[in-house]
Amino acid sequence: MVELKVVLSDQKTGRAYNISVSGGPAGTLVGKRIGEELDAGPFGLAGYRMEITGGSDRNGTPAKRNLPAAGRRNLLLSKGTGFKPVREGQRRRKSIRGNEITSDFVQINARVTAYGERPLADIFAKPSPEEKKE
């Protein structure tokens, strides 16, 4: 069974929300690619749409949008996702994931593209201590 953490960024408020997904809703993400837009209804966000912007696997290896593959590749990088050079002209061979989401992913990064009726702050609001006692 696939278990994922979806980090959903709200561009209007500048906040990010964590959603733990497993089972069927997580299966809807497997096979998608970075840059695809999908309905957020299966994650409990009725009326919302989200775009996948990135992710990482269980070892922390980041996914690169312009690498059309499902697994890891060792690429010679000079900048961008997965490598920040210290010196000018520095290059390094780094392990990078392709843009297809597989069951090896642990975290998926996404942003909201269309909003539903309820604001995200209300959906993800923590209950106050008074409500917990009842």
Q: What percent of the chain has pLDDT over 90?
A: 67
Question: What pLDDT score was predicted for residue 123?
Answer: 87
CA distances 83 to 31, 57, 91, Å, are 25, 16, 9
Question: What pLDDT score was predicted for residue 69?
Answer: 86
Q: What is the pTM of this model?
A: 0.85
Work out the average pLDDT over 117-126.
Answer: 87
Q: Identify which of 112, 35, 104 has the alpha carbon closest to the alpha carbon of residue 67.
A: 35
Q: Are 34 and 105 in contact (CB under 8 A)?
A: no
**Per-residue pLDDT tens for 54-97?**
999 999 999 999 999 888 999 999 998 889 999 999 999 999 99
Residues facing residue 95 across a β-bridge: 74
Alpha carbons 128 and 46: distance in angstroms, whole number: 24
CB-based contacts of 93, cutoff 8 Å, min separation 6: 74, 75, 76, 77
